[in-house]
Structure formats: structure tokens, C-alpha cells
Amino acid sequence: MEIRELSVPGAWEFTPRQFGDDRGVFLESFKASEFEKAVGRPFDLRQVNVSTSAAGVLRGIHYTQNPPGQAKYVTCVRGAFLDVVVDLRPTSPTFGRWDAVVIDDENRRSVYLSEGLGHALLSLEDGSTVTYLCSLEYTPEFDGEIDAFDPAIGIEWPTVGRDGRPLTFNRSPKDAAAPLLADLNRTR
């Protein structure tokens, strides 16, 4: 497995080795020993989520108040997404920095983000499906969101899908009404 730390400290990209033959492909999507070596601690799995999205669906920027925070290990099992990580840790020297990785059903990369980081996904084709391994069960009172189009963050969202057709962004009403980064309570 190839492991690369992203430019946002506390976030990593995991690219598995794939073994294919005429029957299909096998890979290790998550391996605790490799994860722990890279991240420096075990992953405490508490919940697994699956989400399927049409092309242009933009989910996020979502975060969980820290503490307790929620770490995520995100893998695309079908289709393609742009996976975006944003540093939302109030005292971090990289507060507001973002990085992105294309995760898809070809390279089968995964992204890990530590507690305190924000997360957004843009589906790059219809029927794209992602799984999230989560370190905290869903706890709505800890959830928050930041506007994915906040110019202070400046995420460069693609406007064309994996098939070359233009993307029309589709967000939930809650995500569309999300506050700006400047409105985030940095004393949390």
C-alpha cells in the first residue's frame, strides 16, 4: 500500500496494491498495521456509512465538533468523487487549508481525515458510491457545516464530470445555507 500525507496535517491518502486476473481484482482497502504505522494510532471503528450520489452532488463541508471529533476513512466503491479535506482546527497553523484527492473505482484510493478536519465530496458521475468508516457514531448535536463555496477557503471544484459532461452542482438545503469559515466559532 502506498501512503501519502496530504498538505492538511492529519489527513492521508492510501492507495492499495491491486491484484487482477481474468476473474477480477483483489485489494486490501484497509489494513490496521499499515494504517497505524502511517497515522501513529489505531482506527477506532464505531460506524460504517454508505452514500450513493448522482453526478454533481456536493456533500459538505461537514465536520464534527472537536472534542469529541470524528475521524473518517473514506473509500469509493463505485464511480468517482473529488474528496476534499479542510483544516477546521481552531488553533492549527494550517486553519482553512484544503487538499483534495480523486477517489474512484479504478485507483481505489482511500482518504483518512483526523478529528477536527472538515470533509466534502463531489460526485463526478451518476451512481457514485462511497463508504465511510467512522470513529464516532452519528451524533447530530456535534455536527456542523461550512459553505463549500466560501471564497476564503477557495476550493477549486471541477465543473466537468468523469464522462466529460458539465457538472451541475446539487447541494442539500442545509449545505447551501451553511455559514462561512469566518463564522466558525474558533474557541470551540
Which 3 state secondary structure label does DSSP give 19? strand
C-alpha to C-alpha distance for 54 and 165, rounded to whole angstroms: 13
Domain that holds residue 61: 2-183
Residues 6+ apart with CB under 8 A from 104: 76, 79, 80, 81, 124, 162
Query: How does pLDDT run across 32-72, given as a tens digit for each residue?
Result: 999 999 999 999 999 999 999 999 999 999 999 999 999 99
Q: What is the pTM of this model?
A: 0.95
Instruction: Tell whether 77 is covered by a domain.
Output: yes
Q: Out of 62, 73, 112, 119, pick the active-site residue.
A: 62
Over the chain (188 residues), the average pLDDT of each successive run of 10 is 98 97 96 97 97 98 95 98 96 96 97 98 98 97 96 97 97 97 73
Is 119 annotated as catalytic? no
Tell whether 188 is covered by a domain: no
Q: Domain tally for the chain?
A: 1
Q: Where do runs of H (alpha helix) occur along 56-188?
A: 173-176
Q: Is 132 annotated as catalytic?
A: yes
- pLDDT above 90 covers what percent of the chain? 97
Q: H or E segment at 135? A: none
Report the candidate in 1, 188, 5 with the shortest Cα–Cα distance to residue 111: 5
Q: Which of 63, 73, 132, 138 is catalytic?
A: 132
